[in-house]
Amino acid sequence: MRRFAVGLAAAAFFLAGCAHSRTIVRAEDGLNIAQYRGIGVVPFKDPRGQGLAIAEGIESGLEKMMFSPVDPKALQEIISNYKTDSRDGLGFEALEMMHEKTSADAIVMGRMTPDWNTAIIVLIETGMGDQVMRAAVRPPGKQKAFSSPAEVSKAVLKTLSGLR
């Protein structure tokens, strides 16, 4: 009987571990990403200097998902004109300008951890300036770290498509 109980406890522990998702998403209740027509992507902050490549991969994938393209140059110009406070992120005025100049209904912003084991992303809607989603996106399977910007982009797009 004792062996059975130990075996049952071990099986429960193993199954709970298998059910654990590596990516963590916190989104507004009822969030449907399809409600946004245009989604802009800001180059990721990345210690390896691959932030622009990650953003371009996400932009390309969003276009394939039928979102309206947002001019990345216009978006970057607005970001450089409005100095962002690392504590507060983008201000309401900057978000309002993004919506007006680029027709972006939402903005994806992100950063990579130094060891590339996580991409932290946020989705901010430009109308009211609300952060509607935050996620810690991790590599697929048993990988400990992302190996390329394309792999990061694919994982972020998978996370965003799950919000439909």
Each residue's pLDDT tens digit, 43-86 = 999 999 999 999 999 999 999 999 988 888 888 888 788 765 54
Please state, for a pLDDT cut of 90, what percent of the chain lies above it.
Answer: 43
Q: In this structure, is residue 151 part of a structural domain?
A: yes
Q: What's the sign of the alpha-carbon dihedral 92, 97, 100, 104?
A: negative
Provide the whole-model pTM: 0.79
User: What CATH number is attached to the domain comprising 62?
Assistant: 3.40.50
Domain residues for the domain of 55 are 22-161
Domain count, the chain: 1
For residue 35, is it within any domain?
yes
Q: Is residue 17 part of a domain?
A: no
For residue 10, being part of any structural domain is answered with no
Check if the beta carbon of residue 125 is closer than 8 Å to that of residue 36: yes
Q: Is residue 15 a part of any domain in this protein?
A: no
Residue 14 within any structural domain of the chain: no
